[in-house]
């Protein structure tokens, strides 16, 4: 049991305070997610379409053939289409060469948003769970802008909520509705939060091969078995993880006792013990390194985002990193 879980078990329930004006830092509300549409539009306008791309909603596959995007010129092989002979190179070299194209196919996006208990925490702008919902919403809008279909799985302490892939305005509204409804259910302190293994097992049964899979989580509970399942997902999907964390997890604040709240209950964190402060920092760095290694060693990519980072810049980095096929 983590220190946050232990604290929650001891705290009495209180009536939730009145919501401040503007986006809620602790709740996922439909109005807040809908209000991200102008930012999503700016992010979409700032993205460059690959040269020669005449349609949106298509992604290059590993299948080579006579498709939409030219890839290379190579020596002619028996069985190649004679209509694709590259005559200029053939004449210059004296050997037959042919053009190769990369076929484009639709690739649905499947977002995985973690609303488990460890995500209901934040000391800066927002809870990690709220940031996860906002990142997912912006990614969904970007995908739908490109003509892709978007599916969703929400992980909670009680299980999983799934939304099959859909597109268009109806698709994004369904994503927003499911995110808001799933987050509105408060975690039960009597239920032990599951690790990542049940979620990855669920995704292996549900997500189609070739899907762009984006889990957005703090990846608490990424044990050896979960890492094995992550490897299976990486072989079947285009996997790109988003690792969320709060600054308090990376570095202990100045020695003092700090009030904390989960939006309903309040308590105090004691950071006056030097040994605990050192242990606190080391534990996070070890977990962060393990999460990164779990993705990179399996050929997947990972983006690390803090709750204090600017949302627009964070998603812009994520979209750019995905486009470049690298971690960030």
**CA–CA gap between residue 235 and residue 286 (Å, rounded):** 25
Higher per-residue pLDDT: 76 or 49: 76
Q: What is residue 80's predicted lDDT score, i.e. its pLDDT?
A: 74
Beta bridge partners of 33: none
**pLDDT > 90? residue 151:** yes
- CB-based contact 37:132 (threshold 8 Å): no
Backbone angles phi, psi at 317, to 5 degrees: -65, -40
Q: With pLDDT > 90 as the criterion, what percentage of the chain qualifies?
A: 49
Angle between helices 197-206 and 224-236 (to 10 degrees): 20
The sign of the CA dihedral 170, 176, 178, 180 is negative
Mean pLDDT of 304-320: 88
Beta bridge partners of 74: 98
**pLDDT > 50? residue 56:** no
Question: pTM value?
Answer: 0.76
**pLDDT > 50? residue 64:** no
**CA–CA gap between residue 249 and residue 282 (Å, rounded):** 10
Q: What is residue 9's predicted lDDT score, i.e. its pLDDT?
A: 56
Q: Compute the mean pLDDT over every residue in the chain, rounded to the nearest whole number.
A: 83
Mean pLDDT of 126-145: 95
Q: Which residue, among 280, 158, 298, 145, has the nearest Cα to 215 in the 3D structure?
A: 298
Mean pLDDT of 208-222: 94
Q: What is residue 236's predicted lDDT score, i.e. its pLDDT?
A: 92
- CB-based contact 144:167 (threshold 8 Å): yes
Domain with CATH 3.40.50.410 in the chain: 3-11+21-49+106-324
**pLDDT > 80? residue 91:** yes
Count Cα neighbours of 103 within 13 Å in the Cβ-side half-sphere: 9
- CB-based contact 98:85 (threshold 8 Å): yes
Q: How many CB atoms lie within 10 A of CB 18?
A: 6
**pLDDT > 60? residue 55:** no
For residue 230, what are its two tokens? 């992550």
Q: What is the 3-state secondary structure (H, E, C) of 162-214?
A: EEEEECHHHHHHHHHHHHHHHHHCCCCCCCCCCCCHHHHHHHHHHCCCCCEEE
Q: Which residue, among 130, 137, 147, has the nearest Cα to 244 in the 3D structure?
A: 130
Mean pLDDT of 186-209: 91
For residue 328, what are its two tokens? 């960030």
**pLDDT > 90? residue 27:** yes
Mean pLDDT of 279-308: 93
**CA–CA gap between residue 133 and residue 172 (Å, rounded):** 12
Question: pLDDT tens across 93-103, in order?
Answer: 999 998 876 55
Q: What fold is seen in the domain 3-11+21-49+106-324? A: Rossmann fold (3.40.50)
**CA–CA gap between residue 50 and residue 48 (Å, rounded):** 6
Beta bridge partners of 258: 269
**pLDDT > 80? residue 288:** yes
Q: Which residue, among 160, 137, 193, has the nearest Cα to 315 in the 3D structure?
A: 137
**CA–CA gap between residue 327 and residue 296 (Å, rounded):** 8
């Amino acid at each position: 049991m983590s220190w946050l879980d232990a604290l929650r078990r001891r705290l009495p329930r209180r009536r939730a305070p009145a919501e401040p004006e503007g986006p809620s830092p602790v709740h996922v509300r439909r109005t807040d997610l809908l209000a991200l549409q102008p930012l999503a539009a700016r992010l979409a306008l700032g993205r460059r379409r690959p040269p020669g791309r005449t349609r949106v909603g298509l992604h290059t596959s590993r299948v080579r053939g006579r498709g939409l995007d030219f890839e290379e010129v190579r020596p002619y092989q028996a069985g190649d289409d004679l209509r694709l002979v590259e005559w200029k190179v053939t004449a210059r070299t004296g050997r037959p060469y042919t053009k190769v194209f990369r076929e484009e196919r639709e690739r649905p996006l499947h977002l995985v948003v973690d609303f488990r208990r460890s995500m209901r925490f934040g000391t800066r702008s927002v809870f990690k769970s709220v940031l996860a919902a906002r990142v997912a919403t912006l990614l969904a809008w970007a995908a739908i802008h490109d003509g892709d279909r978007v599916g969703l799985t929400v992980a909670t302490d009680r299980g999983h909520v799934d939304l099959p892939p859909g597109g268009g305005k109806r698709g994004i509204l369904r994503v927003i509705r499911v995110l808001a409804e799933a987050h509105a259910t408060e975690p039960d302190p009597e239920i032990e939060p599951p690790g990542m293994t049940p979620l990855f097992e669920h995704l292996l049964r549900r997500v189609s091969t070739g899907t762009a899979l984006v889990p957005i989580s703090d990846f608490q509970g990424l044990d050896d078995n979960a890492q094995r399942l992550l490897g299976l997902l990486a072989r079947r999907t285009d996997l790109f993880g988003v690792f969320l964390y709060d600054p308090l997890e990376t570095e202990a604040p100045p020695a003092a006792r700090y009030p904390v709240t989960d939006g309903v209950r309040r308590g105090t964190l004691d950071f006056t013990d030097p040994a605990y402060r050192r242990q606190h920092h080391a534990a996070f760095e070890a977990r962060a390194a393990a999460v990164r290694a779990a993705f990179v060693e399996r050929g997947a990519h990972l983006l690390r985002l803090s709750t204090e980072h600017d949302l627009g810049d964070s998603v812009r980095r994520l979209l750019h990193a995905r486009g470049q096929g690298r971690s960030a």
